[in-house]
Amino acid sequence: MTGNRKRQPDGVEVIAAINRLYDNRMYDRLIDEYYGGSGFLNFGYWDEFTHTAQEASEELMEKLLALATSKTGNILDVACGTGATTKHLLKYYSVDKVVGINISEKQLRTCRNKLPDCALLKMDAAQLGFADESFDNVICVEAAFHFHTRAMFLQEANRVLKPGGSLLLSDALISPVKYENRPYWDKQNFVTNLNEYAAICHTAGFSQVEISDVTKECWQGGFWNVVRFVHGKFLEGKINLEELNSFLDRMYRLTEDLEHYILVAARRAP
């Protein structure tokens, strides 16, 4: 019966839910400790040489940047959080060549305090307020699964890239069932599999698309490290049982939600 069907949140409601979610997580004491005070908030890239969440997050950035055709020119950091990804880009780009955008004014204030000389703007990733062919590269770390929508973002990214420029992103494919039950998943953003993802990139105008499934290295690696970290804090008496269960509940829910974690390099035609 349609009268009992749960109403799906609209785009404005989804954005508000995302802001609440990440404004809480970005400023959570335990999460900040987990990332060594670096400001990162992603699963990272884990291998036998990775020891901390900060190292994993930095390695994820390096894996993405290695996919760029070139690190010359300028770069747009989409969904820049509190500035950790933007700061990492300054290893390769001068401060006047890096632009960061986010939808959270709270997070942007933190970015501006950390990086006062960078251009940091409040902007929706699916409605980029830049002229055509403004950037040599665009990067987006672990955020496109929240956009309204991913397809619109990809079209916008292609538009603002210069000919031959690269879009670099890490992204996650979410179980379709979970779009029904989470206010921060936009059902219009659902992608079935990696082939469909590549097709959306091509439809957006990208001439070359490379997708790597790194679920084991990123999502699974990050999951087990979080589990070890919070259990360690509990055994040390730094958090109580309620805090332990609350933190673990977030991770266990994600095991139901997340099906694939991917790295994507999409290039605009020269």
The two tokens of residue 104 are 């959270």
Which parts of 100-240 fold into alpha helices (H)?
Answer: 105-114, 150-160, 194-203, 221-235
Q: For 180, what's the count of Cα atoms within 13 Å in the CB-facing half-sphere? A: 6
Would the CA dihedral through 150, 251, 220, 65 be positive or negative?
A: positive
Output phi, psi for 258, to 5 deg. Answer: -95, 125
CA distance 109 to 78: 16
Residue 2 falls within a domain, yes or no?
Answer: no
- Residue 54 sits in a domain whose CATH number is 3.40.50.150
Domains in the chain, number: 1
Residue 27 falls within a domain, yes or no?
Answer: yes
Residue 182 falls within a domain, yes or no?
Answer: yes
Residue 197 falls within a domain, yes or no?
Answer: yes
Residue 194 falls within a domain, yes or no?
Answer: yes
CA distance 215 to 221: 8
Residue 3 falls within a domain, yes or no?
Answer: no
Closest CA relative to residue 257, chosen from 167, 164, 185: 185
Residue 150 falls within a domain, yes or no?
Answer: yes
> Is the pTM for the entire model greater than 0.85?
yes
Q: What's the domain range around 147? A: 8-268
Residue 1 falls within a domain, yes or no?
Answer: no
Per-position pLDDT tens, the chain of length 270: 334 444 445 556 766 777 777 788 889 999 999 999 999 999 999 999 999 999 999 999 999 999 999 999 999 999 999 999 999 999 999 999 999 999 999 999 999 999 999 999 999 999 999 999 999 999 999 999 988 889 999 999 999 999 999 999 999 998 876 556 666 667 788 898 999 999 999 999 999 999 999 999 999 999 999 999 999 999 999 999 999 998 898 888 888 888 999 999 999 999
